[in-house]
Chains A and B, each alone.
Chain A
């Protein structure tokens, strides 16, 4: 038996969350006296997973699985779990993994807990800590089913090196036409830029920016930091920025290492969406903005003066630390 981990890739390269879920799986495997088997779909360098404690990689090489397809991917994971006799399956809490995990849970009759933020508190009974109420609380959840699926939140557990010689074995699951009732026609994706889900740093701005024409300095700041850009709900409602950048309770959750909020007052719904971020910085000209109570660092000042200055200082910092 082994702990099975589903490792996400993007254009053949492992996402950071693949290494994080592998690290998490190794932690559980050590507690249970088992090993870690990873499932990697069309990955270029499957043996990279050995760095994070994976001892066996089931490598799928299949053109029909080149693009993400929730049902087909869930079917492949289920078949791998059945073959390996895996009773614990670890996935990320990314949008794609959440998409496939409900399907997988039903297929394996498994209890599924997403948004998990720490290693299991116990193995028998199996207990995990997860966020609830859109990050306004935590739940300690027991999973009582024989097969268990855990969705690990991004940046919650971190990367833990545990070098093992990973054996890569080809795996050819049975995928049939019925798995492709949903077909991808076109993908419209920004290439080469960090996304909110994966980024270590997120630079977010709100109505304090006064208009979409002023986002140039936000993008410049994000570029320097290698960060993703995001926005508050009113900004996406006004159409200044796309819905996909809306961060908050009804938008995207952010669990970055650094979240910089510029001209965002900090409505309770926005704070719920970003509270999982480790360090929060607020720049706002209103000293009474509620966000200052939730922030680690703050500057009370005009964004149009502070942000250009911050860009200059970061350029100097980068030059000194290059």
Chain B
């Protein structure tokens, strides 16, 4: 089985978000970039397939040279080969088109992407890829088993979960649950050394439209101070929620 894990290079979850250039650009100053958490669950599941079922695992991302440490981390975790599509990721449509081209030329059986990236939260990349490539697609995937060309998956739905039957080639939008948090891997020294020798292929982008464009950003308005209610007067909280906040 040949697996492609699509990874996104995103600000660490603890990052404070600021903007520059008259609020038209994200301020990367002092921000640590990591593998998108939803993608990291998928990468770890791909490692499981590699170790248990003998899969080959490639990772791909769209970005300039600054994303290479993130690809190297994925290689240090155990991916066999990295692909960097040498372009600024303009929007979800553009990114999906680039990745679809890699899939089309790479003969992959399983493509694992995150449900969404935690920076722009578009969540559209795996679905657009699936449609462009006419492949089966399971989103919000929290479990995946593959037996030959048949796949059984579970996806999270509102208020529960759904068991899915499908077949390869398959694209999933993965998330927490695909593997447990405790199964996520920290690269060890041997993995880091080996990653230096693994191929990191730089690929030219294809011409693709970017139909959306973020013109400006803003931070949420500053909040006023919390209104504290005495623990001995809980009824006052009910009163405030009813009469002041109109929330009851």
Contact = CB atoms under 8 A, between A and B. Distances in A.
**Is the pairing of A and B real?**
yes
Contact of A70 (B11, B139, B231, B238): B139
Given A132-B217, A144-B213, A193-B159, A249 B120 contact: no
Contacts of B19: 137
B140 A137 contact: no
Contacts of B17: 133, 136-137
B13 interface: yes
B14 A106 contact: no
A306 interface: yes
Interface in B106-151: 116, 118-132, 134, 136-140, 142
Contacts of A103: 127-128, 130-131, 137
A310 B211 contact: no
B223 A294 contact: yes
Given A107-B131, A258-B245, A292-B226, A189 B124 contact: no
B119 A133 contact: yes
Interface string B219-241: 11001001111110011011011
Contacts of A186: 162-163
B176 interface: yes
A135 B116 CA distance: 14
B228 A298 contact: yes
Nearest to B164: A182
Interface stretch (A30-38, A39-47, A194-202): A194-202
A13 interface: no
B86 to A, nearest CB: 23
Contact of A114 (B122, B228, B230): B122
Given A131-B121, A140-B216, A275-B220, A301 B245 contact: no
Interface string A248-280: 011100000110000000001100100100110
A319 interface: no
B137 A71 contact: yes
A293 B230 CA distance: 17
A314 B156 CA distance: 32
Given A101-B127, A141-B213, A294-B223, A317 B248 contact: yes
A243 interface: yes
B212 A144 contact: yes
Count class of interface residues, chain A: 35 or more
Given A70-B137, A144-B213, A269-B13, A182 B158 contact: no
- The prevalent SS among residues of B at the interface is mixed
A139 B216 contact: yes
A314 B16 CA distance: 37
A180 to B, nearest CB: 10
Contacts of A309: 234
Contacts of B213: 141-142, 144
A299 B124 contact: no
A17 B195 CA distance: 47
Contacts of B245: 258, 278-279, 296-297
Given A98-B123, A299-B231, 5 more contacts: A182-B165, A189-B161, A244-B156, A251-B176, A292-B226
10 contacts: A74-B131, A110-B211, A133-B120, A139-B216, A145-B211, A184-B162, A185-B152, A279-B241, A298-B226, A298-B227
Interface of A: 68, 70-71, 74, 94-96, 98-107, 109-115, 127, 131-145, 178, 181-190, 193, 195-198, 201, 225, 237, 243-244, 246, 249-251, 257-258, 268-269, 272, 275, 278-279, 281-282, 292-302, 305-306, 309-310, 313-314, 316-317
6 closest cross-chain pairs (CB), A and B: A102-B127, A301-B231, A111-B211, A189-B160, A106-B131, A145-B211
